[in-house]
Structure 1
Amino acid sequence: MVHVPRLAARHPGLRLVVDHLGKPPVGGGPGDRARWRRLIAAAARHPRVHAKLSGLYAASGPLGSWTTEEVRPFVEDALELFGPGRLMYGGDWPVSLLAGGYARCWEACLELLSPLSPGDRAAVLGAAAAGFYRIDPALLAAAHDAAA
């Protein structure tokens, strides 16, 4: 993640995604969080850099040892730094199965996003990704209707 700001500055038209929020130190100490925050904040200063809210598991020990409360400060930091328009949910399947299961990860995400307005929550859960990846919602709806 340390190279993201330099890459973004060197190629201002390049759109970048920081996967897994740059692997924040879930379960680590305050110094670990401060270092991660400095790095992610430097990346977030570039408007074409987005981040993916995924893979937020324990930094050490078993993948499933994380709690929603341990993840919360990192999600709050990401929302503050990127805003809902540049933060996108990712399910991290199949690794999420090793971290307590997809349902556990999804429910934690919904709880962490519950303070957001419906529009901001919709941005994180789909609209930001659709915009970044240039997915036309009308085409998705048409494909869904054709498959039904």
Structure 2
Amino acid sequence: MERADAHLHLFAAGYPGRYGRSPAGGDELVVYESLRRAHGIDRALVVGYEGAPEFAGNNDHLAALAAAHDWIAPVAYVPPSGPTDGLDRWWAAGFVGISAYLADAEASRSFADWLGDAAADLDRVGAVLSLNATPAATGQLGPALAALGGCTVLVSHLGLPGAHPTPPDRDTAASVLAPLLGLAALPHVGVKLSGLYAVSEPSYAWPHESARPFVEVLLDAFGPQRLYWGSDFSPSLDHVSFTQTLHPVGLDGLSPAEAADVYGGNLRRALRQRQGGKPEF
């Protein structure tokens, strides 16, 4: 099965994992190139992150990689309050959208305020928004995201439902994810099936059965056309092997066509939409 990866990271000096070095075990670009060849990954949404000093310059690093590798579709990190300058330089550098990390309601309200000002620019290019947002943060985003009908909004890591030592029942899972499920009525919002290790306790407890009820309620709410597989390379390798990221739990009942959508087709369509809306510079 050909795949497209909706969530990975590439850092110039490597992701400083739990042991102070990249869990990829080498140059992250070289390692990921070998993995994508082995597993048929033809496109990848590479998520920018500069939320701590050690990650400064990641946007520029991704711009350079995207210029040299046509399989890379990068999204530029912006702080919760938005960038201090405009977005045009990121579009000109080949970015397909933006990424934001929203840990709480306060950060989310700040981001929603900025989205109100940036909505026309984001819609103009059909931007892809990658959001790492907790349920509390997600609950503040509804009106701002509703105004971005020309964009594709992807909420990462199952909506960050937290770690669970045992699988909750489906009602509990739905309650935890209620703010995210409330966005299912917006047809341009989807969810990444990534970072399942963060739902498990311990995190290495593959196949992460604690994630199953969350995946199931997301599948019911969003359908297979708005779910996106992501490896979370290389942070995921602190917890599991790359191969163990390839088959998230809770998708056993998908038809071959639905599985093809989740594992790549949905992301390819989102990126084609973005390319179709890309302005000239």
What band does the TM-score fall into relative to the shorter chain? 0.7 to 0.9
Q: Report the Cα distance in structure 1 between the residues aligned to 2:172 and 2:239, rounded to whole angstroms.
A: 21
Runs (4+) of structure 1 exceeding 4 A deviation are: 28-32, 59-62
Q: How much has 1:122 moved relative to structure 2?
A: 0.5
Give percent identity, aligned residues only. Answer: 34
SS of the equivalent of 2:176 reads helix
Contact 2:200-2:211 within 8 A present in 1 as well: no
Q: Partner of 2:158 in structure 1?
A: 21
Q: How much has 1:126 moved relative to structure 2?
A: 0.5
Gaps of 5+ in 1: 136-148
Q: How much has 1:66 moved relative to structure 2?
A: 5.4
User: Could you tell me which amino acid in structure 1 is paired with residue 258 of structure 2?
Assistant: D
Q: Report the Cα distance in structure 2 between the residues aligned to 1:114 and 1:128, rounded to whole angstroms.
A: 18
Q: Partner of 1:141 in structure 2?
A: none
How has the CA–CA distance of structure 1 residues 61 and 72 changed in structure 2, closer, same or farther, with 3 Å as cutoff?
Answer: closer
Query: Alignment length, in residue pairs?
Result: 134
State yes or no: 1:112 paired with 2:216. no
Contact 1:84-1:120 within 8 A present in 2 as well: yes
Q: Report the Cα distance in structure 2 between the residues aligned to 1:26 and 1:68, rounded to whole angstroms.
A: 10
SS of the equivalent of 2:154 reads strand
Going by fraction, where is strand more abundant, 1 or 2?
2
Gaps of 5+ in 2: 1-137, 274-281
Q: Report the Cα distance in structure 1 between the residues aligned to 2:151 and 2:198, rounded to whole angstroms.
A: 31
Q: How much has 1:3 moved relative to structure 2?
A: 2.8
**CA RMSD in angstroms, aligned pairs only:** 2.6
Going by fraction, where is helix more abundant, 1 or 2?
1
SS of the equivalent of 1:13 reads coil
Q: TM-score, normalised by structure 1?
A: 0.76
Q: Partner of 2:210 in structure 1?
A: 70
> Where do 1:1-148 residues align within 5 Å?
1-27=138-164, 33-59=173-199, 62-65=202-205, 67-107=207-247, 109=248, 112-134=250-272
